[in-house]
Amino acid sequence: MQSKRVAVVGSGPAGLMAAWVLSRAGIETHLFEKNRGPARKLLIAGSSGLNLTNALPPNEFVEQYHGEGIDWKKLFETFSPPMLLDFAHSLGQSTYRGTSGRYFVRDMKASNLLRAWLQALKEGGVAFHYGMELANFNEEKDSVRLSFKDGTVFETGFLLLALGGASSLKEEDPPHWQKIFHLKKIPLSPFAPENCGFNVSWKKEFVAEVVRAPLKNVLFSSHKGAQKGDILITDYGVEGTPIYSKGATGECFIDLKPDLTHGAILERMERVKENLSPLRRLAKAIPITPPMRALLFHYAPLDGFLTNKQIVDYLKNFPLILGTPRSLVEAISSSGGVPLTEITESFALKRAERIYAVGEMLDWSAPTGGFLIQACVSQGYLAAQSIVNCFSKKLDV
Ligand SMILES: Cc1cc2nc3c(=O)[nH]c(=O)nc-3n(C[C@H](O)[C@H](O)[C@H](O)COP(=O)(O)OP(=O)(O)OC[C@H]3O[C@@H](n4cnc5c(N)ncnc54)[C@H](O)[C@@H]3O)c2cc1C
């Protein structure tokens, strides 16, 4: 006799959405979390303005994702960005669309959204179990047996794992849950930082002058492509959306004035009447912020800027050598984890059809911009829906 109850392990956005779908379908739902409270990373995400999703049209939206083995189009048709916004609104949270097409919760934090989400789950009958670290699971004929670190054993009809990735954890090492997969001989792809800053060996005098200053509205390019946005200069290197998206170790370039052509800048410089050095002439001709000026000043070729053309060449194509990426602990997300070849199109493990895996614990990646949370909740939604369908099929028989 199969038990009509489901264990969801992991209380991040993927697990919370799965619990919501299951509880609304009238299924006895138990949510387990190893920490003493829920959704630590969602709360961290809210500390810098919670970006829920993105307004890109569907065909461009799916292009943001790397991970062969997931039908991204179907995933976002099943639970789309507008559905996520409607869901947030149904929880009493208003959202707004930023100029970049990113959707944020109006109060920018995650705490109110999370509180309302938990309340809805509680009203739907979800049982919460905090401080419970999953240590193992075994699929049996009609059930799954879960064992927790404290010795508790729990039997359930289906298990949905939403254990998260390897970024931003307290410990430096990859997540502990990988041990369970090693025990089961399910191979994992190595974890790697995604959406992270890069080291740059800045000159001491430059860093002394410019730290935590943004280079605003620049165009960053590498062999991965080009992206406009703001780059933050830090004492160790660079951060910011264009770096997260297109950063790569080696030589990269920054166009510090992408909205003005080379010719237009030269023309404006030539109109300056005073007898000034090229750098001072440039600063007179167009607005140059202090960090841009410092970059040009400290990184001028050894013989300095001899001509106007040379300085404009530098301004429009500033060469920046990126060192290694920052560590997993600092990264916004990670790739690696459960290979997509191990899961079905409904996110069940191919080796154990009663066990599902969703969210950042799977080996896919996407840039920042609301694409991460959207993918996690859409996967939680689709997998939970598939479990609901399994129960109804069994009941029909
Ligand atoms: C600084 C920062 C800012 C971010 N900002 C944004 C943003 O604005 N927009 C966006 O889309 N994304 C953002 N992200 C990324 C986003 O937070 C993650 O992609 C998302 O939280 C992943 O959801 P998840 O449910 O897969 O995993 P998680 O949120 O990591 O949740 C996994 C849960 O599983 C629990 N767990 C793990 N192992 C066990 C175990 N053995 N037993 C029981 N429980 C376990 C963990 O404690 C955790 O609570 C940000 C991330 C960071 C670090």
Tens of pLDDT, residues 98-151: 988 999 999 999 999 999 999 999 999 999 999 999 999 999 989 999 999 999
Query: Angle at Cα 23 formed by Cα 18 and Cα 28, nearest 5°?
Result: 110
Question: Domain total for the chain?
Answer: 2
Confidence of residue 211 (pLDDT cuts 50, 70, 90): confident
* Residue 264 sits in the same domain as residue 346: no
User: Is the torsion defined by CA of 102, 106, 111, 115 positive or negative?
Assistant: negative
pLDDT for the residue 46: 92
Confidence of residue 311 (pLDDT cuts 50, 70, 90): very high
**Average pLDDT value over all residues in the chain:** 94
In a mutational test of the pocket of ligand 1, which residue from 332, 343, 378, 379 has the highest number of ligand atoms less than 8 Å from its CB? 332
Percent of the chain at pLDDT above 70? 97
Taking the centre of ligand 1 as the mean of its atom positions, its distance from the CA of residue 368, in whole angstroms, is: 13
What is the distance in angstroms between the CA of the first residue and the CA of the last residue of the chain?
Answer: 13
**Domain end point (choices 274, 305, 322):** 322
Helix (H, G, I), strand (E, B) or coil at 368: coil
Taking the centre of ligand 1 as the mean of its atom positions, its distance from the CA of residue 110, in whole angstroms, is: 12
- What pLDDT, in 10s, does the model give residues 67-98? 999 999 999 999 999 999 999 999 999 999 99
Alpha helices in 47-198 (DSSP H): 58-62, 72-78, 81-90, 111-123, 178-183
pLDDT of residue 243 exceeding 60, the answer is: yes
Taking the centre of ligand 1 as the mean of its atom positions, its distance from the CA of residue 98, in whole angstroms, is: 23
Burial grade of 185 (CB within 10 A; 0-12, 13-18, 19 or more)? exposed
pLDDT for the residue 97: 97
Give yes or no for a contact between 52 and 42, defined as CB atoms under 8 angstroms apart.
no
* Residue 30 sits in the same domain as residue 151: yes
Rounded Cα distance between 215 and 233, Å, is: 8
Confidence of residue 396 (pLDDT cuts 50, 70, 90): very low
* Residue 335 sits in the same domain as residue 309: no
pLDDT for the residue 300: 84
pLDDT for the residue 173: 67
pLDDT for the residue 274: 87
Q: Whose CA is nearest to atom 33 of ligand 1?
A: 10
pLDDT of residue 394 exceeding 80, the answer is: no
Q: Whose CA is nearest to atom 48 of ligand 1?
A: 10
* Residue 306 sits in the same domain as residue 374: no
pLDDT of residue 2 exceeding 60, the answer is: no
Rounded Cα distance between 379 and 22, Å, is: 13
- What pLDDT, in 10s, does the model give residues 284-309? 999 999 999 999 999 988 777 789 99
Half-sphere exposure for 197 (CA within 13 Å, toward CB): 17
Q: Whose CA is nearest to atom 20 of ligand 1?
A: 373
Residue with the larger pLDDT of the pair 378 and 4:
378
The residue with tokens 């995400």 is 45
* Residue 242 sits in the same domain as residue 259: yes
Return the structure tokens found at 354: 């009663």
* Residue 100 sits in the same domain as residue 52: yes
Taking the centre of ligand 1 as the mean of its atom positions, its distance from the CA of residue 188, in whole angstroms, is: 18
* Residue 87 sits in the same domain as residue 157: yes
* Residue 273 sits in the same domain as residue 220: yes
* Residue 107 sits in the same domain as residue 233: no
Query: Angle at Cα 153 formed by Cα 151 and Cα 156, nearest 5°?
Result: 155
Query: Which residues does a 6 A CB cutoff place in the pocket of ligand 1?
Result: 9-15, 32-35, 39-42, 44-45, 48, 50-51, 133-134, 162-164, 167-168, 175, 177, 332-333, 359-360, 370, 372-373, 376
pLDDT for the residue 168: 86
User: Which residue segment(s) compose the domain that 305 sits in?
Assistant: 198-322
* Residue 263 sits in the same domain as residue 298: yes
Rounded Cα distance between 42 and 117, Å, is: 12
Atom of ligand 1 nearest to the CA of 165: 30
* Residue 232 sits in the same domain as residue 151: no
Query: Angle at Cα 181 formed by Cα 342 and Cα 41, nearest 5°?
Result: 90
Confidence of residue 397 (pLDDT cuts 50, 70, 90): very low
pLDDT for the residue 100: 87
